[in-house]
Chains A and B, each alone.
Chain A
């Protein structure tokens, strides 16, 4: 599927920039299409990623030609019998090959790069872009949506955004440096203590895009994944409304057990921010995965997570809770799943 979408995407670009894109449209089939994959930067699903993938293929072919040229020249100079060798002056070789060729290449590349880089920045920062706030923690992502009334709706490890429209992700870190990266949509940006960075992404079409922490952040850097889901506008409204209404009723059975065991770290009202360091669990039941991408959130997964999370994701910040008996665990699971 992907390679077709890819081709199609390239063709849509032909209208915008005929030169490069038509060249690319020609090369893509030669390469057997894009490299499909849920996290492949060469399977672009948004304008930023497409820009960069385009850049890659241009540079790839240019480099391949240069490697062949250099290797060929080296082999020719070393292996061809001197009397049969073409007479080329050293000056021409050194000034043509060493000076003119790379200079021309880098002038073209830098000017192209400046333009491309500038177009991908999150400037100007204005209301045209959809805003979502992501705070990176060891080893999960806290997601906050402005609720339009000055407050926020909190969730974790899933970012729901509109498709076809720029999204500004405002990035912060609660502890160490992390890297926010959704390869099919665009480049990455670090989440750094003390500052807020903004990265602008957008998806051509609704879909689910995988992301992962890119900057080494300690023990479970490998299991710090996220899902970036682009929706049509009305679907997004529905999803966020569901989030706003999510959370188990306060008087539900299991509330006491939950509060005793989990309440210190996890909030269950979408409008409340968890006390450090746990994710808000209000819409846990809707989430695709548990433990920032560690296991799929299928039937029985929550129970499994509560039993074995320190084996599934060693050193994660949640205590093992080995003293939790089966009955209370089941009651907590029922409580959280009641949040639907």
Chain B
């Protein structure tokens, strides 16, 4: 936890939810653009192509969430003051929330055809 850039530290507390937001925007944008471009009419090995693309985009964000967690894990030992430990705890909670939220909003990609 570096104190040189407190604003960044505070902003990164929400990294889990920031990744969720990115995932949300990416999924919605890819879906809208994919439907506009007619991608849903293609199929890949019998599976709807646009759903496959959306699914892959969705999975990428779990990678991001995982790396955010690893970075937090490595830096948390430096946190000593109560206020820093508080931020570490908060960051951790929000990564968990972000992961659950990413899982939650993305799973319908597996259930529904893209553009109907």
CB <8 Å contact, B116 and A114? no
Q: What A residues does B108 contact at CB under 8 A?
A: 114
A121 at the B interface (CB under 8 A) = yes
CB <8 Å contact, B116 and A123? yes
A118 at the B interface (CB under 8 A) = yes
Q: What A residues does B44 contact at CB under 8 A?
A: none
The total of interchain contacts (Cβ-Cβ below 8 angstroms) comes to 8
Complex Cα distance, B111 from A121, in Å, reads 15
- A102-134 residues with Cβ-Cβ distance < 8 A to B are 114, 118, 121, 123
B112 at the A interface (CB under 8 A) = yes
Complex Cα distance, B116 from A210, in Å, reads 28
Complex Cα distance, B112 from A121, in Å, reads 12
B66-93 Cβ-contact flags toward A at 8 Å (1 or 0): 0000000000000000000000000000
Count B-side interface residues using an 8 Å CB cutoff.
5
B64 CB, min distance to chain A CBs, angstroms? 23
Residue of B nearest to A123 (CB): B116
- B89-116 residues with Cβ-Cβ distance < 8 A to A are 108, 111-113, 116
B48 CB, min distance to chain A CBs, angstroms? 13
B85 CB, min distance to chain A CBs, angstroms? 20
Complex Cα distance, B115 from A118, in Å, reads 12
A197 CB, min distance to chain B CBs, angstroms? 13
Q: What B residues does A121 contact at CB under 8 A?
A: 116
Q: What B residues does A123 contact at CB under 8 A?
A: 113, 116
Complex Cα distance, B114 from A123, in Å, reads 12
A198 CB, min distance to chain B CBs, angstroms? 11
Complex Cα distance, B113 from A123, in Å, reads 11
Complex Cα distance, B112 from A123, in Å, reads 12
Complex Cα distance, B108 from A114, in Å, reads 8
Q: What B residues does A114 contact at CB under 8 A?
A: 108, 111-112
Residue of B nearest to A125 (CB): B116
Complex Cα distance, B47 from A112, in Å, reads 24
B6-24 Cβ-contact flags toward A at 8 Å (1 or 0): 0000000000000000000
Q: What A residues does B113 contact at CB under 8 A?
A: 123
Q: What A residues does B112 contact at CB under 8 A?
A: 114, 118
A92 CB, min distance to chain B CBs, angstroms? 18
B36 CB, min distance to chain A CBs, angstroms? 12
Complex Cα distance, B14 from A230, in Å, reads 55
Complex Cα distance, B112 from A20, in Å, reads 23
Residue of B nearest to A99 (CB): B100
Q: What A residues does B116 contact at CB under 8 A?
A: 118, 121, 123
A327 CB, min distance to chain B CBs, angstroms? 58
Complex Cα distance, B108 from A81, in Å, reads 47
A115-157 Cβ-contact flags toward B at 8 Å (1 or 0): 0001001010000000000000000000000000000000000
Complex Cα distance, B109 from A114, in Å, reads 11
A337 CB, min distance to chain B CBs, angstroms? 46
B38 CB, min distance to chain A CBs, angstroms? 15
Complex Cα distance, B109 from A12, in Å, reads 33
Q: What A residues does B111 contact at CB under 8 A?
A: 114
List B residues at the A interface (Cβ < 8 Å). Answer: 108, 111-113, 116
8 contacts between A and B (CB under 8 A): A114-B108, A114-B111, A114-B112, A118-B112, A118-B116, A121-B116, A123-B113, A123-B116
Task: Please name 5 further chain A to chain B contacts, defined as beta carbons within 8 Å, in addition to the given A114-B108, A118-B112, A123-B116, sorted by A numbering.
Answer: A114-B111, A114-B112, A118-B116, A121-B116, A123-B113
The 7 closest A-B pairs by CB, nearest first: A123-B116, A121-B116, A114-B111, A114-B108, A118-B112, A114-B112, A118-B116
